[in-house]
């Protein structure tokens, strides 16, 4: 009689815990172990002594990192690119979603949608090849078929840093806008058609309907998606900033982000301390941002808070 | 529905703009497909063009002549994609199932354990050191499967939400009253009822594996373990490497000429082809998948 109530819950929970086991183990190894590895940023790593045996050096890695101009450049680039991506990406995605929802022919809208999400499905390696086909100095499409016939001097794209902010924003929008429009498209499809009907009876034209009905009803979705991307503003797509500019050193001033810096410091400069410091800087600021954003979402729209 | 004239104009306008946008999204692909069929001298002289002077199958003939390299890379990519997706889907859904059971004592604890990994990470450096120094995955097939991708918190929560919202607890209880064990309930009832989300998440995972090149960049230096993306990357970004003697080791000592621009473009085309097969399914499930995914964790 005493044993029974105890054994029953165990009998119920044990199989479920076993099912969860492999996944939990994976997260433990892949995500939690490295979290305890953040102390590497405070050490002078020496493989001969081992990670645990290496000497503590306090905040020296951070001091060195923030004394370089790299720290400022990568922080600025990461933030500004993300702001541009969020602002333009949102606008273009909403535009596509609205136009798409106007198409009455289902076959067309399917066809267009398929065409527009294709760029999102290719790898960064293939994407960088596409870009290379357009921009390389000798035979690129832009130099050869656009600039030359127009009599404009050809541009050596992969060594001129000033063009890359525009190029990377354009490339990112090209790759992601179609995919990003899906959720707005679905929200518009969910709007009650009778609202539009009654607006029509009141004499509202299409543009007015969009301004007075579609956009206001999309507002909660827009706010939540924008805030959520704000939470990730300290992260960048490593592939976009490393692979697409072909890791060209001449472009670092406008293409270096925290992610590419961490990679270079770790793999190319072998500076483990500095890269660990940059990585921790990114994680901590990112974490703080996510918490802040969640607090804001909670105020704006409690339904959509992450946690 | 009767359309006024203004509305009809707007519909036509939408169709035209959408058409132009789709063409804009599609043109770069067309350019590399055409480039892969362009004669190399034409490419060098006239540059990339949508209307090349001379076409040629040379690039594809070259690929055929050193087929084993490409077949090996394709093989690595397919193997990693299939294995990674299968294992990933299995452990993702097995973890998501207990999390979806509100009558399970620890379901919130599990959810938090998974969710927290989306908020904070140790960064790349500790991960890199752990995988290379303690698990020794460098230059093994595991390096392409294990780090970063296998299961991530977002996928787990997505599946959890689907389980929770689409399969009523009553069905599970009924099955268990009939004597089904938890394992049986999961495999015979939960999974069959959840095929849409499994397809969606499987597709996300499969695409991520097929397109991945970062794991190999960090952990693999043996060309034999290169998938199609890394082979492409190597051919593309490192022309100096190709011009040095080492190229022979990778591309076969007998390779007469270095892979040309057209060959790189042909390989990019070959890298995209499998993605094109996924596209129709993607189209079908994507909207649903994205919407499920947007539901909070």
Structure tokens at B51: 């209307």
The confidence score (pLDDT) of residue B291 equals: 62
**Per-residue pLDDT for A122 more than 70?**
yes
Structure tokens at A146: 């656009």
Pairwise CB contact (< 8 Å): B48 & A121: no
Suggest the residue from B44, B101, B126, B208 to mutate for an interface test with chain A (most A CBs closer than 10 A): B126
Highest mean predicted confidence (pLDDT) among A15-29, A80-94, A225-239: A80-94
pTM: 0.87
The stretches in chain B having pLDDT less than 50 are 239-257, 295-297
Structure tokens at B86: 């299968």
CA distance B162 to chain A (A): 17
Band of the pLDDT at A7, cuts 50, 70, 90? Answer: very low
Q: How far is CA A99 from CA A92, A217, B16, in A?
A: 11, 16, 10
Task: State how far the Cα of B186 lies from the Cα of B201, in Å rounded to an integer.
Answer: 17
The confidence score (pLDDT) of residue B119 equals: 84
The confidence score (pLDDT) of residue B242 equals: 46
The confidence score (pLDDT) of residue B241 equals: 47
CA distance B254 to chain A (A): 26
The confidence score (pLDDT) of residue A81 equals: 94
The confidence score (pLDDT) of residue B274 equals: 86
**Does ipTM surpass 0.90 in this model?**
no
- Interface check for A287 against chain B (CB to CB < 8 A): the answer is yes
**Per-residue pLDDT for A41 more than 90?**
no
What residues in B contact A262, CB-CB < 8 Å?
Answer: 123-125
What residues in A contact B153, CB-CB < 8 Å?
Answer: 27
Pairwise CB contact (< 8 Å): B127 & A246: no
**Per-residue pLDDT for A249 more than 60?**
yes
The confidence score (pLDDT) of residue A306 equals: 67
A56 membership: H or E segment, kind and range: strand A55-56
The confidence score (pLDDT) of residue B46 equals: 78
Segment B110-142, tens digit of pLDDT: 889 888 888 888 888 888 888 888 888 888 888
B150 vs A26, A32, A239: nearest CB: A26
Band of the pLDDT at A268, cuts 50, 70, 90? Answer: confident
* DSSP 3-state of A244: coil
What residues in A contact B38, CB-CB < 8 Å?
Answer: none
Q: How far is CA B243 from CA A125, A138, B79, B251, B263, in A?
A: 21, 18, 30, 12, 15
Pairwise CB contact (< 8 Å): B15 & A103: yes
């Amino acid at each position: 009689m005493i044993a029974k109530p105890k054994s029953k819950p165990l009998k119920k929970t044990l199989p479920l815990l076993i099912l969860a086991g492999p996944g939990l183990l994976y997260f433990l190894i892949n995500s939690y172990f490295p979290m305890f590895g953040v102390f590497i940023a405070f050490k002078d790593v020496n493989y001969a002594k081992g990670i645990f045996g290496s000497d503590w050096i306090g905040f020296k890695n951070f001091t060195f990192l923030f004394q370089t101009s790299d720290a400022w450049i990568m922080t600025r680039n990461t933030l500004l690119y993300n702001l541009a991506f969020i602002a333009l990406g949102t606008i273009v995605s909403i535009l596509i979603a609205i136009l798409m929802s106007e198409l009455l022919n289902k076959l067309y809208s399917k066809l267009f949608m398929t065409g527009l999400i294709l760029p999102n499905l290719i790898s960064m390696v293939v994407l960088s090849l596409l870009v290379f086909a357009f921009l390389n100095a000798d035979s690129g499409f832009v130099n050869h078929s656009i600039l030359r016939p127009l009599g404009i001097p050809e541009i050596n794209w992969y060594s001129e840093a000033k063009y890359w902010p525009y190029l990377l924003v354009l490339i990112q929008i090209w790759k992601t806008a179609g995919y990003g429009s899906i959720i707005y498209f679905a929200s518009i499809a969910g709007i009650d058609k009778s609202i539009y009907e009654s607006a029509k009876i009141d004499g509202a034209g299409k543009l007015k309907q969009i301004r007075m009905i579609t956009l206001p009803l999309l507002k909660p979705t827009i706010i939540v998606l924008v805030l959520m991307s704000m939470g990730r503003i300290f992260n960048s797509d490593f592939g976009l900033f490393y692979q697409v500019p072909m890791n060209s050193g001449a472009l670092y001033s406008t293409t270096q982000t925290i992610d590419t810096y961490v990679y270079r410091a770790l793999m190319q400069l072998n500076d483990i301390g500095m890269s660990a410091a940059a990585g921790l800087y990114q994680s901590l600021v990112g974490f703080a941002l996510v918490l802040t954003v969640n607090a804001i979402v909670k105020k704006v729209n409690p339904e959509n808070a992450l946690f | 529905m009767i359309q006024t004239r203004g509305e009809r104009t707007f519909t036509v306008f939408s169709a035209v703009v959408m058409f132009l946008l789709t063409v804009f999204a599609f043109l770069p692909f067309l350019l590399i497909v055409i480039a892969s069929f362009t004669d190399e001298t034409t490419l060098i002289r006239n540059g990339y063009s949508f209307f090349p002077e001379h076409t040629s199958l040379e690039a594809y003939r070259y690929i055929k002549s050193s087929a084993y390299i490409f077949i090996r890379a394709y093989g690595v990519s397919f193997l990693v994609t299939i294995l990674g997706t299968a294992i990933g889907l299995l452990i993702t859904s097995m973890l998501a199932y207990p999390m979806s059971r509100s009558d399970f004592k620890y379901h919130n604890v599990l959810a938090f354990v998974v969710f927290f990994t989306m908020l904070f990470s140790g960064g790349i450096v500790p991960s890199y050191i752990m995988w290379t120094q303690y698990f020794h995955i460098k230059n093994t097939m595991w390096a392409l499967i294990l780090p970063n991708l296998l299961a991530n918190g977002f996928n787990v929560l997505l599946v959890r939400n689907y389980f929770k919202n689409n399969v009523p607890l009553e069905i599970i209880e009924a099955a268990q009253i009939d004597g089904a064990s938890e394992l049986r309930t999961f495999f015979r009832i939960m999974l069959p009822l959840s095929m849409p989300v499994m397809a969606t998440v499987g597709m996300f995972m499969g695409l991520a594996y097929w397109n991945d090149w970062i794991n190999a960049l960090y952990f693999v230096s043996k060309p034999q373990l290169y998938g199609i993306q890394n082979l492409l990357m190597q051919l593309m970004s490192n022309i100096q490497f190709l011009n040095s003697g080492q190229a022979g080791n990778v591309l076969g000592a007998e390779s007469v000429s270095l892979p040309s621009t057209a060959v790189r473009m042909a390989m990019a085309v070959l890298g995209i082809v499998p993605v094109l097969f996924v596209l129709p399914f993607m189209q079908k499930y994507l909207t649903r998948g994205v919407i499920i995914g947007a539901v909070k964790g």
